[in-house]
Structure 1
C-alpha cells in the first residue's frame, strides 16, 4: 500500500527534517519601546479594535479584524502619514487554521517607519478593496484573487490578471500541485485541439529539470547549435563554443578562446 500523503499541503518539502530541531523565532518587542509606533498604535486603538500589536525586525505589526481593513488603511494614510502601500498579498493557512492571512505593508517616508497591518479571513469570506486609497492595490488585489481565490469587494475590475479567465484552481494555494493538476497539464492541448487530440499530441512536458540532448525543437543547445528540427540522433557536427558573435559590437575586445585557460580543477 502506498504511503498516505496529505492533500491539504502538497508543496515541496525537505526530504529530511530533524524532529528535535526547533526553528528560531524572531523576537517580538513591546510597542511602548518606540515612541512613534506607540503614538500610532494609540491612534488606531481609539477608533478600531486591535487584536495584537508588537514590533518585529524594526517594524510594527498590527493585527485587526478583517471588517476594519479599509478604515485602518485609510487612517494610516490620511492621519498617520503612511503614504505608501509597498506590498499587499495573502498567506495560505487553510491547512492549519482554515483561514487566509491578508497583510498590508506600509511605509511612512517622513517618519521613516514601516508598519504591517494583518487580518485573517475564512476561505469563502471576502474583504474590502483598498484600491481607491492606493493605486498599487489594484494589481495586488487582482493577483491575490487570481493566485489564492480571495474575493475583493468593490474592486473596479475583479478578474484574473495572470492566468486565463477559464483557468481552474488557484496556483499559490498549498493544495495546488507543484506541476499543476490534470487540467493544467492538458490546458493548451484541450484549448487548441480538443480533448480528442490528447493521444495524438501527448502530454505537455512540465518537468523543469528534464533535458533531451537530441531535441532540436524545444531546447536552445547553447554552444552546440544546429538548425531547428535537425536529426542528430546518429551524431552531430562539431560546433565550437563561441562567446561572442562574429559581427558583434566593435568596441568590445574579442575573446580569444585559443589563448584562454579552462580551469577544470575546483582547487585552482
Structure 2
C-alpha cells in the first residue's frame, strides 16, 4: 500500500505528481523458457522489428512498431494460430510522454496460449484498423475512439459507440473531469428541454455518491423506510432482530434493548 500523502483535492486538477505511479511488476521470464512462444517469436522476428519480448504470468508480451500492427496480427493469425482477439484498448500516457499505449490481447485455442501485442502512438497519430484481420476489433476500435479520441483509419463504421455523436470530449482521458465538464453538466437539459430551461431545471446531478433521502425510487431512507415510490416520511421505523413470535428457547432480541460495547470485555 502506498504511504498516505495529502492530495489537496487533486480530483479537481488535471495533473498531479503521483498520477503515474507504477506498481512493481511481477517477474519477467525469458521467451526461450517456453518452446511454443520461442517459435512464435522467431516467426515474428523474421518479418518484423520486435522491440522487446518476454513472458509474464504465462503469456508472451511483444512490443512492436505501431505501423506493423495489421501485418503482424495477420501473421499471428495465419502462421501462429492465434485465432481470437479478445481485447483491444489503450492507456493514456499523454501527460507523461505524449503517447498512448495500445495493446492487443490474443488467444490461440489450439495451442492454449495467450499473447499480448503492445505498441505506442503519439497524440493525433492515426492507427490502421485491424478489423480486416479480427472482426472482434469492430466495437473495440470504436470504443477506443469514443473514450480516448484515437483516430482509426480503415474502419468500416468509425463512429462513437457509447457516447452520443455530438458529445464533447473523450471520457477516459486522464484530463477529463471525473463528474464531466460544462457540456456534460447541461447535455440532457439542452437536448430535451432547450437551453432556456437551464435556470428552471438546474444542472444535471452527476455525483454518484449523492443520496437524496426524499427520492423514494432509488434510495433507502434509513430509519424512516417507506414503500417503493411512496411519499417520503420522517416517522422513525424500528425493526426487531427476530421475526414475530421469536424462536423457541431463544430469548427474544429487540433493537431498543441493544447496547453498544465500547471495547472488548
Whether TM-score is above 0.5 comes out as yes
Q: Indicate the residue corresponding to 2:119 in structure 1.
A: 119
Aligned to 2:231: 230
* More moved, 203-212 vs 169-178: 203-212
SS in 2 for 1:111: coil
Alignment partners' CA distance in 2, 1:40 and 1:257:
68
Assess, with a 3 A threshold, how the Cα gap between structure 1 residues 227 and 71 changes in structure 2: closer, same or farther: closer
Which 4+ runs in 1 deviate beyond 4 A? Answer: 3-8, 220-223, 236-241, 255-267
Please list, as runs of the form range in 1=range in 2, the aligned pairs for 1:74-113 lying within 5 A after superposition: 74-113=74-113
2:139 matched residue in structure 1: 139
What TM-score, normalized by structure 1, do the two folds share? 0.79
Normalised to the residue count of structure 2, the TM-score between the two structures is 0.80
Segments of 5+ residues of structure 2 without an aligned counterpart are: 1-7, 248-252
State how far apart, in whole Å, the 1-side matches of 2:238 and 2:188 are: 35
Matched, 1:31 2:49: no
**Aligned alpha-carbon RMSD (Å):** 3.2
| Matching residue of 2:4 | none
2:82–2:108 Cα contact (<8 Å) kept: yes
Query: Taking structure 1 as reference, are residues 218 and 186 closer, same or farther at Cα in structure 2, changes over 3 Å only?
Result: farther
By relative contact order (CA 8 Å, sep 6+), the higher-ranking structure is: 1
**Structure 1: runs of 5 or more not aligned:** 242-254
Displacement of 1:32 after TM fit?
1.5
Three-state SS of the structure 1 residue aligned to 2:124 is: coil
Q: How far apart, CA to CA, are the structure 2 residues paired with 1:76 and 1:229?
A: 60
State the shift of 1:30 in Å.
1.5
Question: Following the alignment from structure 1 to structure 2, what is the Cα–Cα distance between the partners of residues 262 and 170?
Answer: 53
Question: May I ask how many residue pairs the two structures share in their alignment?
Answer: 243
> Comparing 80-89 with 23-32, which one deviates more in the overlay?
23-32
Distance 1:87 1:31 in 2: 22
Shift of 1:196: 2.1
Residues 91-115 of structure 1 show CA distances to partners (whole Å, capped at 9, x for unaligned) of 1111111011110000111211111
Quote how far apart the aligned CAs of 1:194 are. Answer: 1.9
2:5 aligned partner: none
Structure 1 range deviating more: 219-228 or 83-92: 219-228
Q: Is the 8 A contact 2:217 2:228 kept in 1?
A: no
